[in-house]
Amino acid sequence: MKSNQWILGFVFLTLSSNLFAESTTSVPADIALQRLIDGNNRFTQGKAKRPNQSPERIREVSKKQFPFATIIGCSDSRVPNEIVFDQGLGDLFIIRTAGQVSTYASWGSIEFSVAVLGVNLVVVLGHSKCGAVDAACKSNEVPGHIITLTNAIKPAAEKTKHLEGDWLQNAVKANVALQVTSLRKLDPILSKQYNSGKLLIVGAVYDLETGKVSFLDEDYILSIAK
């Protein structure tokens, strides 16, 4: 009985949070995407505003959070998401693992941001010279659980092995594209929201040398998914 009550309580909380987010603060995907683009432009031009980082903002988000985008990024210390997109406290819901490889905990976190927090934009953010992707391309032996990361990235390495240009950079892009297509198909929450047109799931690559975030073309994502 207690278990059923807990489940019903969670469902009620989820539905309530969705309705509240929808009616008051939920940001449409296209507007959320433009905020990220504008923020990265400010960052690369040395005109960062560093918004929502005041004591007042700390108190505001202590009561409730309404992030406008979810970023699935690499753990690399050189790619701090709030900084490169020039955002502040409570703006972004972030999941980070090496090579932005997603597993059950990551999937649940993404679903939470969409179903409970009302996020309508999910961005898979890779970056140039990614060590995890490089390891997958080289197929070197790695210690411990690192092998789970490289194994997840190997499909992207194999797909780009014979392409012209820099193999690592091609594999970085392909890894992002494959992760995007995987999330678009993830049942039951993401696939439903994506297919309804409410949720936008896109890919991007951050350039370590310039600080620029380049979003992947849809045609490229579809071609890699074949």
Task: Specify the pLDDT at position 216.
Answer: 98
202, 180 Cβ separation under 8 angstroms? yes
Q: On the CB side of 199, how many CA atoms lie within 13 Å of its CA?
A: 25
| Single-letter amino acid, residue 1 | M
Render pLDDT for 41-76 as a digit per residue (tens, 0 to 9). 999 999 999 999 999 999 999 999 999 999 999 999
pLDDT at site 1: 45
Cα angle 178, 182, 187 (rounded to 5 degrees) comes to 175
pLDDT tops 50 at residue 21: no
How many Å apart are CA 138 and CA 150, to the nearest integer?
Answer: 10
Alpha-carbon Rg of the chain, whole angstroms? 18
At 129, give phi and psi (nearest 5°).
55, 40
Is the pLDDT at 5 greater than 50? The verdict is: no
Q: What is the pLDDT of residue 20?
A: 42
- Per-residue pLDDT band at 23 (split at 50, 70, 90): very low
How far is the C-alpha of 36 from the C-alpha of 83, rounded, in Å? 11
| Per-residue pLDDT at 12 exceeds 80 | no
Kindly report, residue by residue over 76-124, the tens digit of the pLDDT: 999 999 999 999 999 999 999 999 999 999 999 999 999 999 999 999 9
Whole-angstrom distance, CA of residue 69 vs CA of residue 118: 9
Give the residues across from 203 on adjacent strands: 124
d(CA 146, CA 83): 27
pLDDT at 28: 98
Range in 18-27, 145-154, 206-215 with the lowest mean pLDDT = 18-27
Each residue's pLDDT tens digit, 118-159: 999 999 999 999 999 999 999 878 899 999 999 999 999 999
Type of residue numbered 16: S
- Residue whose tokens read 């992002």: 176
Structural tokens at position 42:
């400010």
**Per-residue confidence (pLDDT) for residue 7, from 0 to 100:** 46
